Structure 1
Amino acid sequence: EDHRVAIEALDYLQHIPALLAISDSGLSQTFRFEDTRSADGQRWERGTKRKARVALDQSEGDAGAFDDDLINHPIARDGIWAQATDFWHVVGWVMNCAVRWRERWVYWQLWMEFVVAVLEKDVRERISLRDAQEKGGAGRLEESIIGRFLLLNEPGEGRQVWKRAVLAIFADGSERAVSQFPPVWRDETKEPKEGDYKAPKTIADDDGSGDWLRHTGPEVRDLRNRLMALLLEVCNETQSTSSLTHDDLSDLLASHITHLPYPVYSHLLRPSPHDTLLPADLLNLTQIIISWLIDHAAPPNPDPDDSPTQDTLATCFLPFAANTSALEDNVRLSWALEVLVRMYFDAERDARPAPELLQALKMGIEAREMRGGVGGEFVEVEGGC
């Protein structure tokens, strides 16, 4: 009963994108972060007012008229849009909660999934308007909600915002990540008083180990994938105004994926029919990671923008070990190669592995076993994938 109003409010918000275009819903105006930091930089001292247009049902005069008064109420002053530095502050904190503060994650997950759904629909609608050449500038991704979070920056800050966005997506609950993306509210992680409501406890919070291998499930992976897909799409569609090229962003994302703990790395870097990350983007990220890990004797892919053929896989990728003797590097390379092979056979359902491909697989397994003590399985490939 204590949470009935909040649940009904969330249900109402979740229905808005399904019923209205984002540009007509008012959400674009709502999703604005206010820079209300005091001069001495004390984030917790924010108390400035937030401007809003408030629809009032008046007993006299025109019903539904708008009032431009300022909202000066603790609920407004303490809201996410006033307390958080920017959207990427919230993203980073949400990811930190997913790893270290699961009781907070229970709530933040609902908020983040709603916001990401709005961002995705906003981008889709604007691309459709642009392609149909309707509503003038309404189709400009620079004016989308996610576009504002990434593109409308002070001179010289553009690339740093993209880097901050990627850091937020891969925040891991470590001391450094929490320093970069601290709690949105003061005492947010403080244990509630006896008798207060507690979210269901699924994993022991704040175990102090910084180990996030057990703490990141499919919901976290899905959010990371969706946010990466948004970044890549906006970057690709705004090349004339973005401060970062699509290739640079792919390199930036790949560098973070490469250094994830292996269970998280292999969980994130894998093809799935339900992913919002385009197969072309996954293919590109995988090939970038392989290029950093593979033996320098491997010849370059002659057609890096196209899906590798069986001949390319057998010649440029599969027979090689990592460029170091580190077990970890050889394991990561083995998995990335398997992703490439799986993507090929997912796309070519009727293809059978050629003898040259199978021979290259065998050579690669032996090479990685000799260099780092790992080979890789590829069991399904030999069965036709």
Structure 2
Amino acid sequence: MYLFSWLFTTPPLAMATVDEVPYRSPVPLQWELARQTEIFLEDSLWPQAYSLLFNVLASGTISSTKAVVPLPQHLAVAATILVHPRTTTRAESEYEKEAPKAALRFLRLTNSLVGPTDAKFNLAFGFSQFASSRQGRRRAESPMFVEHDNLDTRPLNTKFNQAASVWHCAEDFWHAVGWAFNCSVLHPARWERWQIWLQFMCNVLEDDWKEREKKYQEAKQNQTDTSVLPENSERSEKEASQGAEPKEENHTGKKPKAKTVVQDDLGIFRESLIFRYIASNTTAGRNRRIMRAIFANGKANLGEFKEVFNDELRIPVPDQDLHNTKKRAGDINLDKDDYGDYQNNSDEDFEADQSSTSVSPPAKGSNTKTRRSKRTRRGTRNAMDEATDPIKMAKNKTPSQENSNLAPLGGYTSLALRQQLLSILSSVSEKLPRHFMPLDDLYDLFVENIRDLSLPIFQQFISPSNLPHLLPEAHSTLCELLLFVLRESSAPSSDDNYLTQAKLEKCFLPYAAATPSVGNNAKVSILLEALMTLLHKSKMLSVTPSLAEAVRSGIARREQASRDRNSIEWAYLKESGFRMKFMVEHILP
């Protein structure tokens, strides 16, 4: 489709940050520091472990061009600590609540100083436990826990490693995404933690892709610079050794290594973290499952994207919290063998995750986990328990809560993350259409999932000022495709591959929706308003008699076609039309 030929003519503006502040060269972590960190993690001293790694990583960063990088296992455990119930919603002390903060500081610094590639995020953030379960085969073991001879994959003896980690409990990245967005609608307490994890992961995916784009462009430039050289590299090296300008010839003799990056059918992009997540599932419905995860709303997708951790929604009873607090307040007396609560920390959260990733009752006759029954005794549930119960939440929702603004998709932060993921997928589709899907097919899926959204959410997705993750070119293309679906059939088509003022006046502005629904007409008006804004920002829109007439006639046509004028959708339609008139009369040159 020619409509997409100009989507990615220039790299995102954020690319400049990679050029201005290059990543530092990685230096392996010394064995002594790695061992000390492992001791901290084994003893559940998580804040100390990641404060140590943070200080080591940050030392000498003002003048040094190198940075000491942690092991992938440290990164994997840190990402689990961000979201695991044991350190978040079920943390038993302020000390444990400090662990996610320390882990997040460490993860962000690693990503900003070293970058996803040199930090080996591909090893740290791999969902490999369920790699083959979707095809019905035996679950595969993660390489991180098998290759003991490799320091980068040697397992750590920590509570958050292996079966209790998010990388094992989640089926794949899209399972975690779908559950996180379900939490944004149904479970605010869990969403508070999942949004931090998901925001970090989205930033990592973006940074990893941009770094690979930069390397690809550099290799492409090197290929152009060396295109005049003989194809036989041995001949070039021989000529360099015999005489003229040996330094220049020796330097160029190494260029074919960079040249292979471009010739390998964009292999550098196939090694990206986001493509690994996409390719982890090879079933026929892979692409639609990805879309369902991004647009999960706590309703139809709740059965597909279930909770990641076992009993994730369970919260501690206040009496038990008070008891634990009193125990922690006591002094530790080693002479009297009084260790406070050090040896009494409950490992139920970890044992449950290791036994299964789904909620299941214990076997008959089992002596495990007898301290707490799966069924809460009558009278012990409190208001917080009921607030996080999905069944009671559904019953207690009022109509105003159900339809208020952005609640059906979890609020502004949730929408921003969803659009950020769509933007990342657009980049992948543009570079790897054969391995992922063509760009026009991807945008067809976007349209399929966006067009039926409620009007407040639809406006947030479309408005250029609210969620500016998409490039202006991609944004205008999405708006055009939505208009092709929603506008009346009598509207003419155009041979122009690019959006112009003439095309806007001829094909879009004067027309209403295909149905008399006031909601659809409001969506058409919002889309037209967005296109006018995008053209204005690009200095491609100016006031002309034809533009003013197209805006005026289109507003009248959409209002006349709409029937229900006592609904909130009518207010959206009127307000959008007013803004378009105001733009023509007071803003446009």
In structure 1, the gaps of 5 or more residues are: 57-64
Equivalent residue, structure 1, for 2:289 = 164
Aligned residue type for 2:151:
F
Q: In the TM superposition, what is the alpha-carbon distance from 1:5 to its structure 2 partner?
A: 2.4
2:526 matched to 1:335? yes
Q: In the TM superposition, what is the alpha-carbon distance from 1:97 to its structure 2 partner?
A: 0.9
Matches within 5 A, 1:85-124: 85-124=171-210
- Equivalents in 1 of 2:543, 2:193: separation in Å? 47
2:151 matched to 1:66? yes
Equivalent residue, structure 2, for 1:16 = 110
1:23 alignment partner, SS class: coil
Q: In the TM superposition, what is the alpha-carbon distance from 1:34 to its structure 2 partner?
A: 2.1
2:408 matched to 1:283? no
- Equivalents in 2 of 1:259, 1:23: separation in Å? 39
Report Cα offsets for 1:183-232 as digits up to 9, x if no partner.
101221223321659xxx9xx76531565744333322221121001000
The alpha-carbon distance between structure 1 residues 41 and 278, as it changes in their structure 2 partners (threshold 3 A), is closer
Report Cα offsets for 1:286-320 as digits up to 9, x if no partner.
101101111111001321x31222x2222111111
Equivalent residue, structure 2, for 1:61 = none
Equivalent residue, structure 2, for 1:226 = 420
Matches within 5 A, 1:339-378: 339-348=530-539, 351-373=541-563, 374=573, 376-377=577-578, 378=580
Equivalent residue, structure 1, for 2:251 = none
Q: In the TM superposition, what is the alpha-carbon distance from 1:50 to its structure 2 partner?
A: 4.3
Bigger drift between 268-277 and 353-362 goes to: 268-277
- In the alignment of these two chains, the number of paired residues is 361
Identify the match of residue 315 of structure 2 among 188, 191, 196.
191
- Equivalents in 2 of 1:314, 1:41: separation in Å? 51
Aligned 8 A contact 2:144 2:153 in 1: yes
Aligned 8 A contact 1:169 1:224 in 2: yes
Aligned 8 A contact 1:290 1:336 in 2: yes
Matches within 5 A, 1:232-243: 232-242=426-436
The alpha-carbon distance between structure 1 residues 50 and 98, as it changes in their structure 2 partners (threshold 3 A), is same
The alpha-carbon distance between structure 1 residues 187 and 37, as it changes in their structure 2 partners (threshold 3 A), is farther
Equivalent residue, structure 1, for 2:517 = 326
Report Cα offsets for 1:146-200 as digits up to 9, x if no partner.
011113543xx2x6222111111111111x1111211101221223321659xxx
Equivalent residue, structure 1, for 2:62 = none
Aligned 8 A contact 2:463 2:530 in 1: yes
Aligned residue type for 1:185:
F
2:151 alignment partner, SS class: strand
- Equivalents in 1 of 2:466, 2:483: separation in Å? 22
Q: In the TM superposition, what is the alpha-carbon distance from 1:73 to its structure 2 partner?
A: 5.6
Report Cα offsets for 1:60-107 as digits up to 9, x if no partner.
xxxxx8386555765221111101111011111111111111110111
Aligned residue type for 1:94:
A
Aligned 8 A contact 1:128 1:139 in 2: no
Q: In the TM superposition, what is the alpha-carbon distance from 1:352 to its structure 2 partner?
A: 3.1
- Equivalents in 2 of 1:250, 1:85: separation in Å? 26
- Equivalents in 2 of 1:248, 1:364: separation in Å? 30
Aligned 8 A contact 2:130 2:172 in 1: no
Equivalent residue, structure 2, for 1:301 = 494
The alpha-carbon distance between structure 1 residues 105 and 39, as it changes in their structure 2 partners (threshold 3 A), is closer
- Equivalents in 1 of 2:273, 2:315: separation in Å? 34
The alpha-carbon distance between structure 1 residues 39 and 127, as it changes in their structure 2 partners (threshold 3 A), is closer
- Equivalents in 1 of 2:111, 2:430: separation in Å? 24
Aligned 8 A contact 2:130 2:168 in 1: yes
Q: In the TM superposition, what is the alpha-carbon distance from 1:382 to its structure 2 partner?
A: 2.4
Look at both structures and tell me which one has the larger radius of gyration over its CA atoms. 2
Q: In the TM superposition, what is the alpha-carbon distance from 1:272 to its structure 2 partner?
A: 3.0
Aligned 8 A contact 2:170 2:308 in 1: yes
Aligned 8 A contact 1:99 1:212 in 2: no
The alpha-carbon distance between structure 1 residues 125 and 37, as it changes in their structure 2 partners (threshold 3 A), is closer
Aligned 8 A contact 1:321 1:364 in 2: yes
Aligned residue type for 1:318:
L
Q: In the TM superposition, what is the alpha-carbon distance from 1:248 to its structure 2 partner?
A: 0.5
- Equivalents in 1 of 2:153, 2:175: separation in Å? 29
Aligned residue type for 1:193:
V
Aligned residue type for 2:276:
R
The alpha-carbon distance between structure 1 residues 184 and 53, as it changes in their structure 2 partners (threshold 3 A), is closer
2:285 alignment partner, SS class: helix
Bigger drift between 277-286 and 27-36 goes to: 27-36
Task: Give me the CA root mean square deviation.
Answer: 3.1
Q: In the TM superposition, what is the alpha-carbon distance from 1:333 to its structure 2 partner?
A: 1.0
- Equivalents in 2 of 1:165, 1:41: separation in Å? 17
2:130 matched to 1:130? no
In structure 2, the gaps of 5 or more residues are: 1-94, 220-257, 323-383, 564-572
- Equivalents in 2 of 1:68, 1:113: separation in Å? 25
The alpha-carbon distance between structure 1 residues 98 and 33, as it changes in their structure 2 partners (threshold 3 A), is same
Q: In the TM superposition, what is the alpha-carbon distance from 1:139 to its structure 2 partner?
A: 6.1
1:370 alignment partner, SS class: helix
Bigger drift between 274-283 and 33-42 goes to: 33-42
Equivalent residue, structure 2, for 1:383 = 586
Q: In the TM superposition, what is the alpha-carbon distance from 1:7 to its structure 2 partner?
A: 1.3
- Equivalents in 1 of 2:287, 2:493: separation in Å? 29
Normalising by structure 1, report the TM-score. Answer: 0.84
Aligned residue type for 1:360:
A
- Equivalents in 1 of 2:102, 2:426: separation in Å? 34
- Equivalents in 2 of 1:269, 1:99: separation in Å? 21
Aligned residue type for 2:498:
D
Equivalent residue, structure 1, for 2:128 = 34
2:446 matched to 1:253? yes
Equivalent residue, structure 1, for 2:10 = none
Aligned residue type for 1:325:
P
2:275 matched to 1:147? yes
Runs of 4+ aligned residues of structure 1 deviating over 6 Å after TM superposition are 37-42, 53-56
2:492 alignment partner, SS class: coil
Equivalent residue, structure 2, for 1:62 = none
The alpha-carbon distance between structure 1 residues 40 and 24, as it changes in their structure 2 partners (threshold 3 A), is closer
Aligned residue type for 1:363:
S
Identical residues among aligned pairs (%): 28
1:35 alignment partner, SS class: coil
Aligned 8 A contact 1:51 1:69 in 2: no
2:484 alignment partner, SS class: helix
Aligned residue type for 1:160:
G
